[in-house]
């Protein structure tokens, strides 16, 4: 967030503290620290929120949708590729059933007035910002593949090769799958389950790259430790200390 503010921005620190009781029985209820940049962001977010509440405009809807999606990818984590494949595979079947088997998914998406989807105006050139004919993309179609792509980025980093091959491959696969979804929807004039095309692309492309590079075993054996696990914390501290000692040795040389 800091990179969006100029270097000479007058930033001040604040603390919001609520306590209960007094003396030895005093207990903290809320202890929240923030700064001027946070207040600016809060003000801008409030403007967008009021805009959405009053107008239900598609741009405000998409701003909230993108924010929720980014938070979802940040907060939700997969610990290994196998779990990711199982999750995507299950939702692949789920999405197909609820779109082709019944019309519940489409009906809910169209009737539920909340930023649970991104909307793309199909009559933008005719009506401009007042467009009212939309194509929709559910946030689940962003977050679920997104957490799998984020896992592959962490796998790239674990290989210590200074390349992000699997991340770029899966990201390109997502764009390909989304483009294919739009193309099929345009041809058949019917709502399409996006995961029908996204899941095979996001899993298939990276696996093909792993096969070509001979890293399939490494990919499916890669597993992340729980960051709250004491053993994982100790291991990360040891790694940091080792890196620091190596840096000192190089400086001495």
Least confident of 121-130, 185-194, 242-251: 242-251
DSSP SS3 for 202: helix
Phi, psi of 167 (to 5 degrees): -65, -50
Looking at residue 175, its pLDDT comes to: 97
Backbone angles phi, psi at 16, to 5 degrees: -105, 115
Mean pLDDT in residue range 4-19: 89
User: Is 203 found in the same domain as 102?
Assistant: yes
Q: How far apart are CA 58 and CA 118, in angstroms?
A: 8
Q: Is 227 helix (H, G, I), strand (E, B) or coil?
A: coil
pLDDT given at position 236: 46
Scanning 189-229, the segments in alpha helix (DSSP H) are 195-213, 216-221
pLDDT digit string, tens, across residues 175-224 = 999 999 999 988 988 888 899 999 999 999 999 999 999 999 999 999 98
Q: How confident is the model at residue 25 (pLDDT cuts 50, 70, 90)?
A: confident
Give 136's strand partners: 119
- The confidence band for 226, taking pLDDT boundaries of 50, 70 and 90, is low
When the pLDDT of each residue in the chain is averaged and rounded to a whole number, the result is 86
Which residues touch 73 (CB under 8 Å, ≥6 apart)? 142, 143, 146, 147, 150
Cα 36 from Cα 13, distance rounded (Å): 7
Per the annotation, the verdict on 229 as an active-site residue is: no
* Residue among 35, 38, 132, 141 flagged as catalytic: 141
Label residue 230 exposed, middle or buried (CB < 10 Å: 0-12, 13-18, 19+): exposed
141 is annotated as an active-site residue? yes
The answer as to whether 247 is a domain residue is no
Directed axis angle between helix 195-213 and helix 140-159, to 10°? 10
pLDDT of residue 229: 52
Domain residue limits at 22: 1-55
Dist. CA 139–CA 72, nearest whole Å: 9
pLDDT over 90, % of the chain: 56
**CA nearest neighbour of 75 among 139, 150, 1, 171:** 150
Report pLDDT digits (tens) over 133-154: 888 898 999 999 999 999 999 9
pLDDT band at 253 (very low <50, low <70, confident <90, very high): very low
**Token code pair at residue 135:** 């194509």
Pair 149, 111 in one domain: yes
Asked whether residue 29 is assigned to any structural domain, the reply reads yes
Question: Looking at the structure, do residues 105 and 51 belong to the same domain, yes or no?
Answer: no
pTM for this structure? 0.79
Looking at the fold, whether 169 and 201 belong to one and the same domain comes out as yes
Domain count, the chain: 2
Report if residue 66 sits inside a domain: no
The mean pLDDT of 48-66, rounded to a whole number, is: 93
Terminal Cα-to-Cα distance of the chain (whole angstroms) = 39
pLDDT per residue as tens digits for the range 162-175: 889 999 999 999 99
The mean pLDDT value for 80-95 works out to 94
Within a domain: residue 69? no
> Are 208 and 86 contained in the same domain?
yes
| Active-site residue, selected from the candidate residues 38, 95, 123, 156 | 95
Question: Which DSSP symbol is given to 226?
Answer: P
Instruction: Report residue 230's pLDDT band, with 50, 70 and 90 as the boundaries.
Output: low
- Check residue 184 and give its pLDDT: 92
Residues 164 and 117 both lie in one domain: yes
CA 163/CA 156 separation, integer angstroms: 7
């Amino acid at each position: 967030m800091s990179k969006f503010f100029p270097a000479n921005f007058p930033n001040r620190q604040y603390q919001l503290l609520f306590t209960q009781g007094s003396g030895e029985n005093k207990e903290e209820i809320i202890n929240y620290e923030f700064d001027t940049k946070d207040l600016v962001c809060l003000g801008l977010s409030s403007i967008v929120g009021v805009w959405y509440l009053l107008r239900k405009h598609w741009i405000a809807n998409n701003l909230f949708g993108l924010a929720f999606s980014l938070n979802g990818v940040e907060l939700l984590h997969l610990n290994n590729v196998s779990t990711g494949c199982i999750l995507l595979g299950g939702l692949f079947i789920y999405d197909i059933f609820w779109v082709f088997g019944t019309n519940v998914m489409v009906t809910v998406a169209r009737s539920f007035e909340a930023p649970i989807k991104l909307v793309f105006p199909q009559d933008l050139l005719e009506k401009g910002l007042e467009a009212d004919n939309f194509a929709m993309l559910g946030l689940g179609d962003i977050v679920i593949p997104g957490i799998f792509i984020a896992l592959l980025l962490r796998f790239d980093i674990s290989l210590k090769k200074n390349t992000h091959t699997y991340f770029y491959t899966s990201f390109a696969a997502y764009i390909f799958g989304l483009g294919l979804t739009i193309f099929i929807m345009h041809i058949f004039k019917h709502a399409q389950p996006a995961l029908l095309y996204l899941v095979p692309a996001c899993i298939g492309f990276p696996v093909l790259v792993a096969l070509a590079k001979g890293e399939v075993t490494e990919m499916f054996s890669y597993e992340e430790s729980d960051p709250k696990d004491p053993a994982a914390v100790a291991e990360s501290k040891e790694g940091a200390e080792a890196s620091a000692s190596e840096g000192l040795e190089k400086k001495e040389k």
